[in-house]
């Protein structure tokens, strides 16, 4: 776990997922009577993947667990706990393609309106939610990137019209993304009219941009809960999460003709293949428009 975090630069959430998956693997090894890494052969590794599938886990979950196991065996070889890697030829199952769920532009507007932050007498939490939704949709930031922001990161946006927002991505990577006028206006309202009120409630001052009701940094779970509640208030009729807004950001850009490699840079994807899934959504959208609009489509 130290190697994953310190040397490979994986996030705390990813390291926690590795830990959970590898605990399952260690339990399986004990059941097989394995006591040392050099006692494991390819059949043992393949048997683990087969058992996870037999227990009803999805192909995506089994694939993730297989990747964790392969990483562990590579680590054992590199640290000389084992001379061979029995997992090197074990391929994770290919999960079916899952297209991201994107909101329509109208649904995004309704979600923003549900925050209540644009009203003249909005409460601090409403101003925070407004700024949070506008920022997530307006920049395509991951939830961890948005919640990791501090006040200083946003202050420059309000003083320099052309300034971008620096986001700390996966593996300590950084990127600068443009921020539109809607997100800027919501951030200014939050910083001027909302955040000072919540900041006074903290026992210890926090530099965090987004605060909870006690003045501390807003947590990931609280953010998910707030976005989901806003989705229900907006009567969108689907589970809405911070990642839904990131998907919507990318889909709407590509729908409007943005180059996929530009979207790749904006999202912070290492590979363009990850971004290309959004082009499939656009093709699906085009088919639906054709089916509804062309007199001989049916």
The residues that are catalytic are 142, 170, 243, 246, 269, 278
Beta bridge partners of 167: 175
Report the distance separating Cα 127 and Cα 117, nearest Å: 4
DSSP-derived secondary structure for the chain: -HIIIIIS---HHHHHHHHHHHHHHHHHHHHTT--SGGG--HHHHHHHHHHHHHTT--HHHHHHHHHHHHHHHHHHHHTTS-SS-TTTTPPPP-PPP-------HHHHHHHHHHT-TTSTT--HHHHHHHHHHHHHHHH---HHHHHT-BHHHHHHHHH-TT--EEEE-GGG-EEEE---HHHHHHHHHIIIIIHHHHHTT-SS---BSSB-TTSSBPPHHHHHHHHHHHHHHTT--S---HHHHHHHHHHHHHHTT--HHHHHHHHT-SSHHHHTHHHHHHHHHHHHHHHHH-TT--
Q: How many CB atoms lie within 10 A of CB 141?
A: 28
């Amino acid at each position: 776990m130290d190697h994953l975090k310190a040397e490979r630069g994986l996030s705390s959430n990813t390291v926690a997922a590795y830990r959970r998956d590898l605990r399952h693997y260690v339990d399986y090894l004990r059941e097989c009577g394995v006591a040392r890494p050099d006692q494991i052969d390819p059949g043992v590794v393949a048997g683990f993947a087969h058992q996870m599938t037999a227990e009803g886990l999805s192909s995506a979950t089994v694939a993730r667990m297989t990747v964790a196991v392969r990483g562990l065996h590579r680590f054992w070889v590199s640290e000389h706990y084992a001379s061979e890697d029995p997992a090197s030829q074990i391929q994770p199952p290919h999960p079916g393609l899952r297209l991201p769920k994107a909101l329509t532009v109208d649904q995004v507007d309704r979600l923003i309106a549900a925050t209540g932050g644009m009203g003249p007498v909005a409460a601090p939490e409403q101003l925070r939610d407004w700024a949070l939704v506008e920022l997530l949709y307006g920049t395509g930031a991951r939830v961890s990137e948005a919640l990791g922001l501090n006040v200083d990161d946003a202050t420059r946006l309000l003083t320099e019209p052309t300034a971008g927002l620096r986001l700390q991505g996966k593996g300590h990577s950084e990127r600068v993304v443009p921020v539109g006028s809607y997100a800027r206006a919501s951030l200014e309202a939050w910083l001027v009219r909302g955040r000072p009120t919540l900041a006074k409630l903290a026992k210890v001052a926090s530099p965090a941009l987004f605060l909870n009701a006690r003045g501390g940094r807003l947590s990931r779970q609280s953010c998910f809960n707030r976005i989901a509640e806003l989705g229900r208030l907006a009567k969108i009729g689907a589970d809405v999460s911070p990642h839904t807004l990131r998907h919507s950001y990318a889909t709407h850009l590509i729908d409007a003709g943005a180059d996929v490699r530009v979207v790749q840079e904006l999202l912070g994807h290492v590979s363009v293949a990850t971004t290309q899934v959004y082009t499939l959504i656009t093709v699906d959208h085009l088919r639906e428009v054709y089916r509804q609009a062309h007199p001989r489509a049916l």
